[in-house]
């Protein structure tokens, strides 16, 4: 469903992603971990077609993201960092716009919107301008647009950022519910999130993979049995933030 082969990106003299290779299969929920500047967000931007790689390739359901961009993007949903949207629109208007962009019109578009709204709990704020919403609700609008067209592959950059504990629980339940029929990659700095929803975890540092396995296997590889201790051992810093400096 998602194939990354020797993916590379440089910014001047800095190599943000260094020949990274990774395959994510149907039904997998991959936790993508790394310290600031490790290359997480840069990788996601290349995989989704928003940043051109300097080398290597990424394929979504067999479609090359560079040479067959539209076909690849039709099969994926993307929640970028910050959940950008049009602040003057209401969630209802924004999701209707996204449905049109995705080729869903009329009753089909309304039905897709209603399902996404139901999954993300946006009903109470559906007709309020997005710019007036809390960070948590804006994040949920971003998640709703990502799942609107029922994509095969979901790329989620910090999906629970800004959510309160109850909202985080709802989003994690949603991810667990849809995971069997999708391929999901989650960039997160929350180790509890990896343990709660991910079937596999990859740790990167300086643009390279330094660990890959199930959360249980990675914890077993740590002398203390804790994922955060293994993370500190394998990378140049702890999980202090969510932003990729290179991105």
Residue-wise DSSP of 187-241: E-S-HHHHHHH-SEEEEEETTEEEEEE-HHHHHHHSTTS-HHHHHHHHSSS-S--
Quick one: 137 and 212 in the same domain? no
CB 7 within 8 A of CB 46: yes
Q: What is the pLDDT of residue 247?
A: 42
Q: What is the pLDDT of residue 165?
A: 87
The verdict on residue 106 lying in a domain is yes
The residue among 48, 55, 59 whose CA lies nearest residue 24 is 59
Paired with 200 in beta bridges are 30
Quick one: 122 and 22 in the same domain? no
Quick one: 51 and 70 in the same domain? yes
**Domain end residue (candidates: 150, 168, 185):** 150
Largest pairwise CA distance in the chain = 57
Rounded average pLDDT per 10-residue block, the chain, 247 residues: 96 94 95 88 94 96 96 95 89 96 93 93 95 90 94 92 83 88 89 89 92 90 80 65 40
CATH number of the domain encompassing residue 53: 3.40.50.300
Q: For residue 90, what are the domain limits?
A: 86-150
Q: What is the pLDDT of residue 220?
A: 87
**Domain end residue (candidates: 97, 128, 150):** 150
Q: What is the pLDDT of residue 237?
A: 52
Quick one: 117 and 202 in the same domain? no
The verdict on residue 96 lying in a domain is yes
Quick one: 159 and 56 in the same domain? yes
Q: What is the pLDDT of residue 28?
A: 95
- How many residues does the structure list for the chain? 247
Please report, for residues 12, 133, 136, 178, 192, the alpha-carbon distance to residue 162 in angstroms, rounded to integers and kept in the order given. 33, 12, 5, 22, 15
C-beta atoms surrounding 237 within 10 Å: 14
Angle at 225 between CA 224 and CA 226, to 5 degrees: 90
Q: What is the pLDDT of residue 244?
A: 42
Q: What is the pLDDT of residue 195?
A: 87
Quick one: 67 and 157 in the same domain? yes
E strand or H helix at 130, and its extent? none
Quick one: 48 and 100 in the same domain? no
Quick one: 223 and 161 in the same domain? yes
**Domain end residue (candidates: 150, 165, 181):** 150
Quick one: 6 and 121 in the same domain? no
Quick one: 39 and 105 in the same domain? no
What is the β-pairing status of strands 208-213 and 183-187?
A: unpaired
Task: State the total domains in the chain.
Answer: 2
The verdict on residue 81 lying in a domain is no
Quick one: 157 and 234 in the same domain? yes
The verdict on residue 70 lying in a domain is yes
């Amino acid at each position: 469903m998602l194939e990354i082969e020797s993916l590379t990106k440089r910014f001047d003299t800095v190599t943000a992603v260094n020949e990274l290779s990774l395959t994510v299969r149907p039904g997998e929920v991959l936790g993508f971990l790394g310290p600031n500047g490790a290359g997480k967000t840069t990788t996601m931007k290349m995989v989704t077609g928003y940043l051109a790689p300097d080398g290597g390739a990424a394929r979504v359901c067999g479609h090359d993201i560079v040479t067959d961009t539209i076909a690849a993007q039709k099969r994926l949903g993307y929640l970028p960092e910050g959940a950008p949207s049009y602040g003057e629109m209401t969630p209802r208007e924004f999701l209707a716009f996204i449905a049109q962009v995705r080729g869903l019109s009329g009753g089909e578009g309304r039905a897709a919107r209603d399902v996404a709204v139901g999954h993300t709990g946006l009903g109470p704020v559906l007709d309020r301008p997005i710019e007036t919403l809390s960070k948590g609700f804006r994040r949920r609008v971003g998640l709703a647009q990502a799942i609107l067209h029922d994509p095969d592959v979901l790329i989620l950059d910090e999906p629970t950022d800004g959510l309160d504990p109850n909202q985080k629980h709802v989003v994690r339940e949603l991810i667990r519910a849809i995971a069997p029929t999708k391929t999901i990659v989650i960039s997160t700095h929350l180790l509890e999130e990896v343990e709660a929803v991910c079937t596999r975890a990859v740790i990167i540092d300086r643009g390279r993979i330094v660990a890959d396995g199930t959360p249980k296997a990675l914890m077993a590889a740590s002398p203390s049995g804790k994922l955060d201790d293994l993370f500190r051992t394998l990378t140049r810093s702890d999980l202090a933030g969510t932003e990729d400096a290179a991105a």
